[in-house]
Structure 1
């Protein structure tokens, strides 16, 4: 795989002194910060575990949305009309949390939030620290608890996917009366996949040499998809690393800013990729196989182009991101007839 061009910059992340006022505003000055850890994995916002002394909670999580925390080069402006674009910001976060609460999905409790930027140079939110870790980690350390949480996740997804809207779009956009891009989910996916294909072909010769065949395959799969009148509520990027497990065994959804109404097959394709053999617990009858076929190839191409784009910047976990691109490149090629 060709190495993309990239730049390095010195980023200024939040430290205990920066977060003390936020925590004081959230908890009323009852707690003293004894430690701050910036959690790995975030690419659009900073996620900090703040350890406390003297209050009711031993720790809280602080979300911080600012340019310093955004590792996506050239995508600073969040286009809320494009449901497939990376979503970020306190407005989509709060809108998503409200909707998930309404349908009965478990998400971290918001203790405090501020989007005024009058006291802080970023949008910030303080949420509960769910103590059980991620479902991904629990698969290795506590298989029995993981199985119970996976079953709870399946129930949560049923609640979400049965919550319908007549039109696709991100929740925060639709709540404001906005209209999303694209005439349909399948057309939006096709258009996005062809852009991802062009980008990937320009970065790696293995894609470039079969670009026309992949493009033809995408258009062929799109032609097989029949129109649909409604969309379900989906997370959009739900891997086991985006599910925490609460003390009582509930599946708790995080990184929810991209919550949208869309074809549930888009969610199921991602679930199948990320959960692997454990996807059987999440699979459901009645999915449209034609949509699944189109969306699988489109998702594979997205998971090549997106990581390579991220590597144009200074994202720190570079080998991990290269591995995602390499794996999905091979999987995309394997889908050619």
Structure 2
């Protein structure tokens, strides 16, 4: 803190913030009541156990200081509000792990504001919609993580929708070993995934997407600006992937985001694939010492019902 902010102030409090499952997130408070946020990318801060993955799935291993740095720069260039980056250390100068100091954009999430005061949430929701349209019209000819594209590693042998299909079927195989209902419905779920995939037409233009953007990943600053967090999963991909998630997470407030034009077949295919993901991920992390295990089990149960309904 002395190196970055000067030695005239003292650090008085360090609070671990809830929600981080792949990195540690801490609020550091100084004796003049100013605050900053510390990110720590360390093995013991990542609660997620390893799992089988699709090799070209751009949403796997979406954690780390390198991804944070390049994604932060891309969002800033696109005019999207993110917490200002104060310091990034990938050389182990301060801790035996990568760390970053970022601006503290406050304690009010858009999710909390929407629940408490929908009228007050209208302006940041509208501004968030503007930001999303800037992201979703920032186009590329390859899908994948920005770091991989910058290294020339994004040439694909197949299309995004086939990646999603394999990802969804892999999640199904994993959860079928954990839940008897999905084991019984396995073949019917496979058939439904293949039916949805078959209705999707080819496309080779991709937009910039956050990957898992919910109102809990947006903070409303004192200036009433929506600021995006958890940006390591930023990638070029079909914007329908983002909007399937946004529709789920924003619910009745989703139309206020004024989305870009979307392919309804691709949207429904991705929505169902995300339902399977929201069974596999929570069941997997619930087998660890994650501190809110029951919340994960409840999330999985809700999505099991959604996965079985169309069958």
Q: So what's the TM-score if we normalise by structure 2?
A: 0.95
Correspondence list, 1:279-318, <5 A = 279-284=254-259, 286-318=261-293
Structure 1 unmatched ranges of 5 or more: 1-22
**In the alignment, does 2:302 pair up with 1:324?**
no
Moved more, 136-145 or 320-329: 136-145
Deviations 1:32-56 (A, max 9, x none): 11111100111100000111114xx
Aligned to 1:72: 48
What's the counterpart of residue 7 of structure 1? none
User: What is the Cα deviation at residue 145 of structure 1?
Assistant: 2.4
Aligned to 2:212: 237
Of residues 194, 197, 200 in structure 2, which corresponds to 1:222?
Answer: 197
Deviations 1:249-295 (A, max 9, x none): 11100000000000000000000111111111125252101101111
Residue 194 (structure 2) pairs with residue 194 (structure 1): no
- Residue 36 of structure 1, aligned match among 14, 33, 38: 14
| 179-188 or 135-144: bigger deviation | 179-188
Corresponding residue for residue 259 of structure 1: 234
Aligned equivalent of 1:52, options 30, 33, 43: 30
Which of residues 70, 84, 88 in structure 2 aligns to 1:113?
A: 88
1:144 alignment partner, SS class: helix
**C-alpha distance in structure 2 between counterparts of 1:201 and 1:216, whole Å:** 15
Q: Structure 1 residues 258 and 308, CA, compared in 2 at 3 Å: closer, same or farther?
A: same
> Are the aligned partners of 2:146 and 2:235 in contact in 1 as well (CA < 8 Å)?
yes
Equivalent-residue separation in structure 1 for 2:27 and 2:55 (angstroms): 28
Distance 2:132 2:293 in 1: 31
CA shift at 1:89, angstroms? 0.5
1:184 and 1:83 map into 2 onto residues whose CA distance is 12
Alignment of 1:62 onto 2:38: yes
Question: Quick one: distance in 2 between partners of 1:48 and 1:80?
Answer: 32
**What's the TM-score, normalizing by structure 1?**
0.88
Give structure 2 stretches of 5+ with no counterpart: none
* 8 A Cα contact 2:144 2:237, kept in partner: yes
Would the aligned equivalents of 2:54 and 2:166 in 1 still touch at CA under 8 Å? no
Shift in CA distance, 142/28, structure 1 to aligned 2, threshold 3 Å: same
Deviates more, 1:210-219 or 1:130-139: 130-139
Q: State how many pairs are aligned.
A: 311
Structure-2 change in CA distance of 1:181 and 1:324 (3 Å): farther
Which secondary structure state, in structure 2, belongs to the residue aligned with residue 203 of structure 1? coil
Q: CA RMSD in A?
A: 1.9
Match of 2:100 among 102, 107, 125: 125
> Can you list the C-alpha shifts for 1:298-333, whole angstroms capped at 9, x where unaligned?
000000001111112111111111111111111111
- 1:164 touches 1:232 (CA, 8 Å); kept in 2? yes
SS of equivalent to 1:64: strand
Deviation at 1:81, TM superposition (A): 5.3
